[in-house]
Copies of this chain bind each other. A is one copy, B any other.
Amino acid sequence: MINSRLSVAIHILSLLASHPHDRLTSEYIAGSVQTNPVVIRRLTGMLRKAGIVTSSPGTAGAVLTKAPVEITLLDVYDAVFAGEELFSIHDKPNPDCRVGRNIQDTLDTHFERAEQAMKNELARQTLADTVEHLFA
């Protein structure tokens, strides 16, 4: 339902976290994810803009800016879905109908709570948990 950006982003970060002394190229990471290196670089770009990794043109690899235990899955979610709402609300309901006029605001309230609950749970899980589960 939601696209696979979070999924691939966590995959990338797991590789970085589990090879802290290597410089993994986008091609190598793409080999593990089984996708195109550009897809990896696109996501790495989002993670860089969010301050989760550093990387620079010409230099192979990306480096985590924090310990895995300090990187929550919410951080990753926010990085790859910056500013997006979880639920879409249909636009242009009929303003001449009392329900139509107020539905967007009402749905906003409902959906905001649900989204926040989901984010709170993502915030409770960190990249360290991911790596631990991967190698357990």
Contacts and interface: CB of A to CB of B under 8 A. Distances in A.
A11 B103 CA distance: 7
What number of copies of this chain does the assembly contain? 2
Main secondary structure of the interface of A (DSSP, over half): helix
Given A18-B99, A93-B33, A106-B134, A7 B87 contact: yes
Interface string A114-136: 11111011101100011001110
Nearest to A130: B106
Interface of A: 1-4, 6-8, 10-11, 14-15, 18, 31-35, 73, 81, 84-90, 92-94, 97-100, 102-103, 105-107, 109-110, 113-118, 120-122, 124-125, 129-130, 133-135
